[in-house]
Structure 1
Amino acid sequence: MAIKFVHQTARKVMDNPAANPRIKALARGLGYLSPISEALVRLRLFCYRTNICRTFRLGRRVISVGNITVGGTGKTPLVAYLTALFKERGKAVVILSRGYRRKGKGVEVISNGKGLLTSREKSGDEAYFLARLSGGVPIVVGKNRVRAGELAIERFDPDVILLDDGFQYLPLEREVDLVVIDSSNPFGTGRILPGGILREPLSSLKRADIFCLSRTDQAQDLDRLRALLRSINPEAPIFECIHSPSFLRRIPGGEKVDVRLLRGRRLFAFSAIGNPMAFERTLTDLGARLVGVRSYIDHYSYTTADIKEIAQQAKGSGAEFIVTTAKDMVRLPGGYHPCIEVFALEIRIEITRGADIIESIINPEA
């Protein structure tokens, strides 16, 4: 119970720190730590900027796809999207991932481009999900992305290396620093962790070469966001995308089902992602009626007891279906089948503005 309280409290602080007096007090307490965190971040940035800390080149074209906030901005599906475009042009691609919260150690090839070579637990759920999205592309995981890149070159001799979640990984030099910003919640309260969702000060966006604004269909004030980015980094071009629902995947079994199934139906939604409200809004935009929701802290590993509890809540709320995200699907335990049908919503990246900028990434010599 204590662990669940911590998970839910952390989520409430991120989503709405003024929800009630207790949450507001906790948010205020965390906020006092933000200046200390910011000072440490600035010191680290200074060390790399002045070459006190060493950086490395891999001798291949490296493209980093990252963000400046914690939580889901949409960088993982964008990495998969770019991977597919490079493959269409006949380029050999390797993805480097940290393998966040993985149980394996060191640097490891989790996919050789022909299939997965290890479990989700040893890969990390983010890298494992990326391997599902980017079939046919080698993926190397490890905290030391320089060593991971060296191994990737040794094993696969790629033309291009995509560095997943690489904006803060300063030891590795890159040709393109692409920063993804979630238009539905760009910077939270504007404070650095732990009092906010920023990993670095907004001034760090000066390092970006290109901005991607994701979920622009859920933006509050897109013009203001564009203006802010141009004021920080006027040289970086901006392209925009939405996360378009692609299909439903039945759990278990994996059968593909048309998303129109959800129209007018009563749903119970659950997720453990960085921006659960964006997921829930997508479901309502599909015409579904949300009769209950449950959100967990990002990257939460579900237990069978969690799924039983979700099923009970869904049944009690009168839900016809239970829906989660494709990211959550890979973290679900096997062996338990709720009495209500369960689906995962698969999404795809759809570029809505700045397709020429994407082309400049894929083919810089054009």
Structure 2
Amino acid sequence: MIARWARDRGHRVAVLSRGYGGATRQRTLVVSDGTRVLAGPDQAGDEPCLMARRLEEVPVVVGRKRYDAGVKARKVFGSDFFVLDDGFQHHGLARDLNLLLLDATLPFGNGRLLPAGPLREPTSAVSRAHALILTRAEEGERAFKNAARLRREWAPRPVFLGRHVARRVVLPGGEKHAVPGILKGMRVAAFAGIGRPASFMRTLDACGAQTVLFESFRDHHEFRAREIRALLDRARALGAELVLTTEKDWIRLFHLSWARERIGYLRIRFEMSKEDDGFFEWLEAIVPPPGKAGR
């Protein structure tokens, strides 16, 4: 979202990622040059590959040290605007803007650090953020109540609301697309290996799908052929008309081409909530225009 905004504004943007789950031993790896995807999820990790597929005219570079990835992007692509993927805890690289994304339904979970809870850092780390973005605003009243509370607790930091919206149904094989409305009343089997699989099921429900089977896997799960065959068998036995997964999970089926011919995915886009549309005006006011960046 921010990479597209900066690109359209005229910045030479690059996305820098650690490449979690990728096996590359290179110091840096160019996943996309902005026109072509040059590395697969086995080397680069699933999330960098997802961004590479979605972002046009925006290179994606992975590196265990984000600084090295940034140097590579500047040298090869002339990048002057860097978006760090999952970079809030990456203290080794100075940045001009820190945005902290929190789940609107339960921003701090049970308030405990891993492994007792979901937090990577104490809540005091919020003080490093220039703004908070609450995701999953589509959950409704609870999201708006949490936003109001955080605005009181962490003033004067602005708190914005974002939501996940289903944009396209990509049918098995990955070539044909349809609008999410086709799912209304359709018997669907689904699976997801993401941080919060239940959110994917809620998105299917919002599309009107009749979910006859839903299976959850851990985030970044490496799917095995026997798991997918068993899932497809159960889907068929339950009369599923379509088997769907997330786009990130579909990418991870790269080694099972036969499975991608039988499984589609739901393309979901994160965007700012219509009820809270001041984010880009705020961003416009604090980010220097192209050619006038600070450091």
* SS, match of residue 171 in structure 2: strand
Moved more, 226-235 or 313-322: 226-235
Q: Could you list the runs of 4 or more consecutive aligned residues of structure 1 that deviate by over 6 angstroms after TM superposition?
A: none
1:23 maps to: none
How far off its partner does 1:235 sit? 1.9
Aligned-partner residue type, residue 266 of structure 1:
R
1:291 aligns with 2:229: no
1:66 maps to: none
Aligned-partner residue type, residue 239 of structure 1:
F
How far off its partner does 1:91 sit? 1.5
How far off its partner does 1:151 sit? 1.8
1:182 maps to: 103
- Aligned-residue Cα RMSD (Å) equals 2.0
Moved more, 312-321 or 267-276: 312-321
Aligned-partner residue type, residue 177 of structure 1:
N
1:126-275 maps to which residues of 2 (within 5 A)? 126-219=47-140, 221-275=142-196
Separation in 1, partners of 2:166, 2:54? 15
* SS, match of residue 284 in structure 1: helix
Structure 1 contact 183–220 (Cα < 8 Å) conserved: no
Structure 1 contact 213–239 (Cα < 8 Å) conserved: yes
Separation in 1, partners of 2:61, 2:174? 28
1:34-45 maps to which residues of 2 (within 5 A)? none
Aligned-partner residue type, residue 109 of structure 1:
V
Structure 1 contact 184–220 (Cα < 8 Å) conserved: no
1:323 to 202, 221, 244: 244
Structure 2 contact 137–144 (Cα < 8 Å) conserved: no
2:283 maps to: 361
Structure 1 contact 304–336 (Cα < 8 Å) conserved: no
Aligned-partner residue type, residue 94 of structure 1:
A
Identity %: 34
1:84 aligns with 2:4: yes
* SS, match of residue 205 in structure 2: helix
2:16 maps to: 96
Unaligned runs of 5+ in 2: 290-295
Structure having greater relative contact order (Cα 8 Å, sep ≥ 6): 1
1:336-347 maps to which residues of 2 (within 5 A)? 336-337=258-259, 342-347=263-268
Q: Structure 1 pair 95/251, CA: closer, same or farther in 2 (3 Å)? A: same
TM-score, structure 1 normalization: 0.73
Structure 1 contact 115–136 (Cα < 8 Å) conserved: no
Separation in 2, partners of 1:118, 1:217? 33
Report the number of matched residues. Answer: 285
How far off its partner does 1:232 sit? 4.2
* SS, match of residue 191 in structure 1: coil
TM-score, structure 2 normalization: 0.90
Structure 1 contact 86–362 (Cα < 8 Å) conserved: no
Structure 1 contact 272–328 (Cα < 8 Å) conserved: yes
Structure 2 contact 167–269 (Cα < 8 Å) conserved: yes
Moved more, 250-259 or 268-277: 250-259
